[in-house]
């Protein structure tokens, strides 16, 4: 697949969404709602669960599955209260020394009148600012679309993984093509130029691991195998992060972002 074909695949609806990961990788998931300030954004789901015998906080951007479900989750485009709910749950995780695991899958933060009125920029900024010093391990997995600031707001983590066909980009290829070349039909060229695929991000040192995908997620046996192997890697990585002292963890996290574009 070309980079643009991979991007189209992440949007095809033929891949598991965040809730499928939560169901497959954890037990006893209890969803916790609301940002305690304005409302509950169903584009972001979060709560407490068990990763084997470790209590963890799990947060995901959920795109929804069928049409009604997609509408219900606003197509995985979060409003400020979604980011604020995520931050509230992360602060709660910090208090109880629970590792945080996030699943990123969004075309981008929602852009609308209400989102601006309630401070979309401020909400994202606040997450970046707080996550860099959150005193508990944070692991993020980009499972499909990693759309700009709306994705980064859940991915300031000690470890960032990406699925083989996922992308993570500063701008959508359509947006890039339309701004630079006044032609959104040149999205495939923009995608090639932006290099937002897992391999390029790995080479740039932005992510730590590329997760291989089954050829077809609709094949049950392959999907089961995929989740089972991911669960093993997740458990091992969370254990490693938990064994790291808090000072070292935070110093490494700062350095992970500090080094990108260091001159």
Rounded to 5°, the CA angle 145-147-148 comes to 150
Closest to another protein by CB, 95 or 259: 259
Name every residue whose Cβ is closer than 8 Å to that of residue 224 and which is 6 or more positions away in sequence: none
Residue 74 touching another protein (CB under 8 A): no
Q: Which of 44, 152, 187, 211 binds another protein (CB under 8 A)?
A: 152
Residue 31 or 203 having the CB closest to another protein: 203
Contacting another protein within 94-123 (CB under 8 A): 109, 111-113, 115-122
Could you say whether residue 44 binds another protein (CB under 8 A)?
no
Q: Does 133 bind another protein (CB under 8 A)?
A: yes
Site string for another protein, 228-257 (x = CB under 8 A): --------------------------x--x
User: What distances in angstroms separate CA 101 from CA 43, 60, 65, 105, 140, one per listed residue?
Assistant: 16, 8, 21, 13, 6
The C-alpha atoms of residue 207 and residue 95 are separated, in whole angstroms, by 27
Are 109 and 124 a contacting pair, CB within 8 Å? yes
**Residues 154-173, interacting with another protein (CB under 8 A):** 156, 168-171
Is residue 149 part of the contact set for another protein (CB under 8 A)? yes
The reply to whether 125 sits near another protein by the rule CB under 8 A is yes
Measured between alpha carbons, how far is residue 17 from residues 46, 133, 241 in Å?
14, 28, 25
Cα separations in angstroms, 146 against 166, 199, 204: 7, 14, 16
Minimum CB separation of residue 261 from another protein in Å reads 3
4 binds another protein (CB under 8 A): no
Size of the site for another protein (CB under 8 A): 49
Phi, psi torsion values for 66, nearest 5 degrees: -85, 180
């Amino acid at each position: 697949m070309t980079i643009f074909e991979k991007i189209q695949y992440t949007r095809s609806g033929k891949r598991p969404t965040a809730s499928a990961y939560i169901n497959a990788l954890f037990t006893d998931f209890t969803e916790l709602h609301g940002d305690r300030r304005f409302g509950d954004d169903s584009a972001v789901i979060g709560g407490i669960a068990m990763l084997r015998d470790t209590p963890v906080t799990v947060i995901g951007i959920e795109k929804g599955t069928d049409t009604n479900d997609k509408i219900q989750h606003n197509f995985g485009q979060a409003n400020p209260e979604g980011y604020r709910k995520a931050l509230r749950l992360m602060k709660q995780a910090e208090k109880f020394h629970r590792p945080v695991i996030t699943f990123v899958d969004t075309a981008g933060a929602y852009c609308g009148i209400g989102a601006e009125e309630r401070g979309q920029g401020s909400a994202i900024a606040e997450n970046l600012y707080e996550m860099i010093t959150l005193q508990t391990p944070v692991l993020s997995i980009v499972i499909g679309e990693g759309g700009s600031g709306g994705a980064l707001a859940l991915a300031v983590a000690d470890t960032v993984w990406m699925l083989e066909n996922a992308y993570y980009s500063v701008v959508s290829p359509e947006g890039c093509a339309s701004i630079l070349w006044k032609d959104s039909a040149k999205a495939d060229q923009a995608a090639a130029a932006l290099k937002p695929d897992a391999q390029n991000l790995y080479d740039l040192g932005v992510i730590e691991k590329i997760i291989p995908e089954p050829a077809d997620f609709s094949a049950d046996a392959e999907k089961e195998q995929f989740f089972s192997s991911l669960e093993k890697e997740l458990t091992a990585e969370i254990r490693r992060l938990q064994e790291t002292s808090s000072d070292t963890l935070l110093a490494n996290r700062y350095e992970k972002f500090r080094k990108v574009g260091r001159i």
